[in-house]
Amino acid sequence: MTAPSIVRTSTAELYDAHVLKNYGRPPLTLVRGRGAQVWDDAGNAYLDFTSGIAVSALGHCHPHWVAAVQRQAAELIHVSNLFRNPQQGELARRIVGYAGPGRVFFCNSGAEANEALIKLARLHGVQKAGGVDGRCYKIICAKNAFHGRTFGGMSATPQEKIQKGFRPMVAGFSFGELNNLQSFADLIDADTAAIFVETIQGESGINPCTPEFLRGLRQLCDKHNLLLMLDEVQCGVGRTGKFYSYEYAGVIPDAIGMAKGLGGGFPIGAMWVRDRYAELFHPGNHGTTFGGTPLACAAALAVLDVIERDQLLEKVRTQSVPWHAALRQLAVDFPQHVVTVRGLGYLVGIQLTGDPMPVIAALRERGLLAPSAGGNVVRLLPPLNATPEELAKSVEIIRAVLTAKA
């Protein structure tokens, strides 16, 4: 077979011809980034409050992160989990330092972390049922949840747009109303193994669990011998001003799924399991080829270095206060367009009265990139090291778009 000839075509043409059409992309090709800014192939600059969907925790091409990845790439990239590597051990130690006594499993994405949580719940159910497989396996999730696009994740995600075309789903999931503790209590039976919720629902519109609700779930799990499993894939790793957003409620979960911002742009996911349940996994019943490679862990360690060195958790907490106030003022000034503003730290949703896509397109034209979320919501996800000036600029651009729309 002869090699294909090189044909000079645009990126848009290459996508049109060769990339699967499962995304509705805007006409924008990004080629370079630095900090909170990105540039397109025409040289236009944008303030990037998409952050790779909450992935680029340190913005683009942070010098410490780049140096760490370059150094590790020249030393050792991949060895598989047949062997130990120093970076994985150190990253596990540091995650345990944030989450509490327990153990960590590394994978490649939030979906994989959530699949591991679902398998943990099944293993706990077997133990709860006295070693009988398949009897105690039910997991209670929240309506409007999003836990990924694998079959386990889709089954825990009661959204038609996610499940349509892929049924039948995995059995054993039921759904209560977020922040309605009684609706969860009513679903518990002898076959229930776990409760599994996002601490802040991201894809469905930035809907936080109240502290009272999370504390109530903890009490239900203690009473009925259930695991409390928290999906912190989008809201974790400092995005709300705490390393994990559940910390605001003062609860201790039994397991946490995390990913996105942990690698700062390099794919990595992780599941932390509380000590008392860590022994449910044993050699052979779960694994991954690529999880926890030296390169992925070096990237994540660099993220933690900068978060700690630059005190980014404190900065997110303090700098988000005036930013949120300015965003909430938009609902006062433009009630015909803005319903409410909600969220924590640098995970914010602006709920609009109508379709958010024209507003998102107008923001892009004025130099601000922001994704949508469910329920007519424009989502704002600045990097954790965004400056007060960049936060203020985002409000200025949104205000200009809403003014032009008025």
Distance from C-alpha of 383 to C-alpha of 52, rounded to nearest angstrom: 10
Q: Is-cis flag, bond preceding 27, omega within 30? A: no
Tell me, yes or no, if 231 is annotated catalytic.
Answer: yes
**Active-site annotation holder among 49, 105, 106, 146:** 146
Write down the H helix ranges in 148-248. Answer: 151-155, 160-163, 181-185, 211-224
- Collapse the DSSP code of 18 into the 3-class scheme (helix H, G, I; strand E, B; otherwise coil) and give the result: helix
Residue 11: count other Cβ atoms within 10 Å of its Cβ. 12
Distance from C-alpha of 2 to C-alpha of 193, rounded to nearest angstrom: 56
Cα–Cα distances (Å) from 121 to 144, 256, 261, 289, 341, in that order, read: 21, 12, 25, 22, 34
pLDDT in tens, 251-261: 999 999 999 99
Residue 377: closest CA among 344, 348, 336: 348
Give span(s): CATH 3.90.1150.10, the chain: 11-62+311-405
pLDDT in tens, 145-195: 999 999 999 999 999 999 999 999 999 999 999 999 999 999 999 999 999
Which parts of the chain register pLDDT below 70?
Answer: 1-8
Distance from C-alpha of 126 to C-alpha of 133, rounded to nearest angstrom: 5
**Active-site annotation holder among 128, 138, 260, 315:** 260
Query: Where on the phi/psi map is residue 315: left (φ > 0), alpha (ψ -120 to 50), or beta?
Result: alpha
- Cα angle 271-187-121, degrees, rounded to a multiple of 5: 25
Which residue type does 47 have? L
Distance from C-alpha of 381 to C-alpha of 333, rounded to nearest angstrom: 23
**pLDDT confidence of residue 9:** 81
Are 363 and 377 within 8 A, CB to CB? no
Question: Domain 65-309, what fold?
Answer: Aspartate Aminotransferase; domain 2 (3.40.640)
Query: Where on the phi/psi map is residue 260: left (φ > 0), alpha (ψ -120 to 50), or beta?
Result: left
**Active-site annotation holder among 175, 196, 213, 231:** 231
* Predicted TM-score (pTM) of this structure: 0.95
11-62+311-405: CATH superfamily: Aspartate Aminotransferase, domain 1 (3.90.1150.10)
Torsion of CA 374, 160, 117, 68, to 10 degrees: -50
DSSP state of 118: H
Which residue type does 336 have? Q
Tell me, yes or no, if 161 is annotated catalytic.
Answer: no
Give span(s): CATH 3.40.640.10, the chain: 65-309
Write phi, then psi, for 69 (nearest 5 degrees): -70, -40
Tell me, yes or no, if 119 is annotated catalytic.
Answer: no
Cα–Cα distances (Å) from 74 to 60, 67, 71, 78, 291, in that order, read: 21, 11, 5, 11, 19
**pLDDT confidence of residue 244:** 98
**pLDDT confidence of residue 405:** 86
Strands (E), 263-405: 269-274, 338-344, 347-352, 368-369, 372-373, 377-380
Please report the DSSP string for 362-402 in residue order.
Answer: HHHHTTEE--EETTTEEEE---TT--HHHHHHHHHHHHHHH
Distance from C-alpha of 97 to C-alpha of 76, rounded to nearest angstrom: 25
Residue 233 burial class via C-beta count within 10 angstroms: exposed 0-12, middle 13-18, buried 19 and up: buried
Distance from C-alpha of 261 to C-alpha of 55, rounded to nearest angstrom: 4
Distance from C-alpha of 240 to C-alpha of 347, rounded to nearest angstrom: 6
